[in-house]
Amino acid sequence: MPKYTVDKVSDHIRKHHPRCPEFAVNFFAAEVAKKKWRGASIGKAVGITMQNYLRHNMTRYEGLLLAGVSREDARRLVKPKIDRMIRSWR
């Protein structure tokens, strides 16, 4: 099970998401480095971490769930915003 170092993850993010703010690079790198990523490449681990954080903290996802929207529908509704945010860092 790969466990990625903060430095390796930071380098990956800076290479693939050069417009990602430095504070976010540091945050995401630390989050990825905390976990063992069974069967996940560093890119997949970064992508999952970014998407999860953005979904729960930068969209109306939680509110949709509280309003009774299914998890699948809530994810579908917020996905375009998450994709735009991540794309803006490339």
**pLDDT single digits (tens) 13-43:** 999 999 999 999 999 999 999 999 998 999 9
pLDDT-above-70 percentage for the chain: 99
Determine what percent of the chain is predicted with pLDDT higher than 90. 94
Decide: 52 and 20 in contact? Cβ < 8 Å: no
Nearest to 58 by CA among 32, 34, 89: 89
Q: Are 22 and 56 in contact (CB under 8 A)?
A: no
pTM over 0.85: yes
Q: How far apart are CA 24 and CA 64, in angstroms?
A: 25
Query: HSE on the CB side for 33, CA within 13 Å?
Result: 15
The CA-based angle 51-57-62, given to 5 degrees, is: 100
pLDDT reported for residue 1 = 65
